[in-house]
A = this chain, B = another copy of it.
């Protein structure tokens, strides 16, 4: 059935014309009808005989209600009878209602009696739609009833939602099992219920003026999903949609900004300690090969580079301008950048929205829009793009090249990224500060990194998303190609409050972020360390070809903890087939345990580790290995590390690649072994059974979301 948009438009126009902000129940019913959302059957009758006939056609029980413009309090007037169970009762109920109405108000105009199908049985659920400041229209689903209200067991998706989205919502609530039929009750009709969710989501997507919609309850039974009550709230006040440049424009600007042929430093300085001096030094010492143009009102040269009073005096083209001048001078210099057709301005200065100077920031946004300059910041540390040896920042130079692109909304978190990256030798392609996000934000970065051959994983810290919908739409596409990891700070109400005082951004309802991230295939980090460890480990691991994980451990105790961690991180321990069990047993002592974990026991020589790992890599049924090492004199840590890399390399030479992670239990020498393994593509951790499994879990989560596990 086609959705009858014209009909809905007509109803909404009438509501608007009447100056109302919500629909009446009959209007709501008509809207539902237009979008194929099933509601209970009903009709108005004018006689007992008609009531008898209509009720019988719907099936019993029915509820009957007086219809009269003069009787507002129907129940008080004796004008409502519920639970009418037969045709005979229906006729009698008609007469009773009319008599009661007359008795209540003799001169009341009586239009008739409404007969309505009474729904019961099945599972009561709620389907709704809300409008979020960042994500726009969202469709919501939960079980009905007060208990679920107490447990806040509800799930959201961006509207419009696909059938798959809707089906994932049915599985996305804690009490999902209720829909599958428990204690002998029938399972609900999943297609009917998903269809209803899809239609609701389409309706609010088609008509943005519908700000809230509630179907509560919806009776979901084994063969239908019927909305017993409809509530629709509208808001006709037009909201300007957020400015969103075309993706091709975003990309061409971002390419110039991130990989500039020439960079201007506005406020460049020869004086040590000045931000404009640090930026110049970082550009020079970082090894940037393009042109560097210091901009200074009076100086002829700075740190050996010819200086210019204005960007407009520079002879050649400029791609990126780094600002290192006080806030009050930024607008004028930005205008000059615009006139010079510079692609992007890196606005290090603070003193804008974060200190309450919203107008000053808006002025910059206006200039940027007018001249088509993209703005990074203000209130940032700048950015690094290592493939271009570019350190456009006042922080220290950074030089460990790699494939992780990171960004942070906060400067402090940016510094933590830099420190961790250097300490853990996590190679990065970029580190970008987004600060106040007056213009460039997470989705602009996603668009650039999506096609950046130097980037394999994208990890972002944010406190809010200025345009959650844009982010989700882009992330949904990008995450199919490259893992996108997000640490959303301000998860809790206390955190959100802290975020709002910090950046002026009121963090949204966390459950919405949670669900939309899932819908978009984004891996959500729960902590700063998780963000960093995922960014470091996920690109190192090859993509698994299937869900079967096997643990091979020298320490039985590690095997137990690794198994727990597998469950926590949604990894599947493969049930060990008999032939493979027998094959593993050949390599391990009789008191070792095959099965999964494979417990080779503690006293074994290096060759036992190697044999079992080779077997695990060779067998097609196994898709990933988790290793538990136990430090002994027989197999010292570095011997273990080398032999594992050897085994991996032998198999790689034969074209076999599987993710391997390792947990190392032992004395301090295991730290060196863990580092060696990590540097050789095997994420490994000393004294932790959780971290290696978390990293593998993140890789799996990505691969599943991207549809790579079949």
Q: Which residues of A contact B (CB under 8 A)?
A: 143, 145-151, 174-175, 177-178, 182-183, 185, 273, 351, 354-356, 395-396, 408-413, 415-416, 418-420, 422-423, 461, 463, 487, 489-495, 497-499, 501-503, 527-529, 532, 551, 553-568, 573, 590-591, 593, 595, 597, 599, 602, 628, 630-631, 633, 665-671, 686-691
Q: Which residue of B lies closest to A632 (CB)?
A: B415
Inter-subunit contact A563/B273 (CB<8 Å) = no
* Other-chain contact of A412, B487, B554, B568, B633 (Cβ < 8 Å): B554
Point out the residues of chain B lying under 8 angstroms from A532, CB to CB.
Answer: 687
A530 nearest in chain B by CB position: B690
Q: With A273-B633, A493-B567, A527-B689 given, can you name 4 additional A-B contacts, CB distance below 8 Å?
A: A408-B557, A419-B686, A494-B567, A502-B560
Rounded to whole angstroms, the CA-CA distance of A110 and B537 in the bound complex is 77
**Complex CA–CA separation, A174 to B149 (angstroms):** 12
Bound state CA distance, A628 and B411, in angstroms? 13
Query: Nearest-CB distance from A534 to chain B (Å)?
Result: 13
Residue on B with the closest CB to A351?
B591
Contacting residues, chain B, for A411 (C-beta < 8 A): 555, 557, 602, 630
Task: Tell whether, in the assembled complex, residue A665 and residue B563 are in contact, meaning their CB atoms are under 8 Å apart.
Answer: no
A526 to chain B, nearest CB (A): 8
Given contacts A151-B174, A413-B555, A419-B668, contact A566 B494 (CB under 8 A): yes
Chain B residues within 8 Å of A556, by CB: 354, 410, 412, 498, 501-503
In the assembled complex, the Cα of A647 lies from the Cα of B253 at a distance in Å of 49
Let me know if B182 and A146 touch, CB within 8 A: yes
B564 x A502 contact (CB < 8 A): no
Q: A495 to chain B: which residues have CB within 8 Å?
A: 560-561, 563-564, 567
Cβ-closest chain B residue relative to A671: B423
Q: Which of A174, A182, A498, A560 has the most CB of B within 10 A?
A: A560
CB-defined contacts of A412 to chain B, threshold 8 Å: 553-558, 602, 628, 630, 665
Given contacts A419-B667, A493-B567, A564-B492, contact A555 B498 (CB under 8 A): no
Q: Which residues of chain B come closer than 8 Å to A599, judged between CB atoms?
A: 501-502
- If the complex has contacts A494-B573, A687-B532, are A557 and B502 also in contact, measured as CB distance less than 8 A? yes
Assess whether B566 is in contact with A419, with CB atoms less than 8 Å apart. Answer: no
What would 22 A/B residue contacts be, using CB atoms closer than 8 Å? Answer: A145-B147, A412-B665, A415-B630, A415-B666, A419-B687, A420-B686, A423-B668, A461-B557, A487-B561, A489-B560, A492-B564, A492-B566, A492-B568, A494-B563, A494-B566, A498-B560, A501-B595, A502-B599, A528-B687, A528-B688, A529-B687, A529-B688
CB neighbours of A562 from chain B (8 A): 498
Q: Is the CB of B355 within 8 A of A559?
A: no
CB distance from A313 to the nearest CB of B (A): 31
Residue of B nearest to A463 (CB): B560
- A591 smallest CB distance to B (angstroms): 4
In the complex, chain B residues whose CB is within 8 Å of the CB of A423? 668, 671, 686-687
Q: Which residues of B contact A558 (CB under 8 A)?
A: 410, 412-413, 416
Q: How far is the CA of A564 from the CA of B563 in the complex (A)?
A: 28
Report the minimum CB–CB distance from A679 to chain B (whole Å): 17
Known: A527-B688, A599-B501. Is A413-B665 also a contact (CB below 8 A)?
yes
A502 touching B410 in the complex, CB below 8 Å, given contacts A415-B631, A561-B495: no
Residues of B within 8 A of A497 (CB): 563
Closest to A510 in B: B564
What is the chain B residue whose CB lies nearest that of A178? B150
Closest partner residue, chain B, to A667 (CB atom): B419
Distance (whole angstroms) from the CB of A709 to the closest CB of chain B = 19
Residues of B with C-beta under 8 A to A354? 556, 591
CA distance A668 to B493 in the complex (A): 32
Task: Chain B residues near A175: list those with CB within 8 A.
Answer: 147, 150-151
How long is the Cα–Cα vector from A353 to B443 in the complex, in angstroms?
A: 58
Q: Is the CB of A593 within 8 A of B415?
A: no
Residue of B415, B560, B593 near A410 (CB, 8 A) is: B560
Instruction: Give the CA-CA distance A173 to B565 in the complex, in Å.
Output: 25
User: Do residues A667 and B489 form an inter-chain contact, with CB atoms below 8 A?
Assistant: no
- CB contact between A667 and one of B396, B501, B633 (< 8 Å): that residue: B396
**Smallest CB separation, A707 vs chain B (Å):** 26
Chain B residues within 8 Å of A553, by CB: 412
Contact B178 A146 (CB under 8 A): yes
Alpha-carbon separation in the docked complex, A621 to B566 (Å): 44
A588 to B581, CA, bound (A): 66
Of B177, B415, B564, the contact of A489 (CB 8 Å cutoff): B564
A490 cross-chain contacts in B, Cβ below 8 A: 560, 563-564
Please tell me if the beta carbons of A670 and B419 are within 8 angstroms of each other in the complex. Answer: yes
Q: Are A555 and B628 in contact (CB under 8 A)?
A: no
Known: A150-B175, A502-B557. A415 touches B667 (CB 8 A): yes
Taking CB as reference atom, which chain B residue is nearest A497?
A: B563
Which B residues touch A499, using CB under 8 A? 560
Contact in complex: B528, A690 (CB < 8 Å): yes
Q: Do A501 and B593 have beta carbons less than 8 Å apart?
A: yes
Chain B CB count within 10 A is highest, among A461, A597, A599, for A597
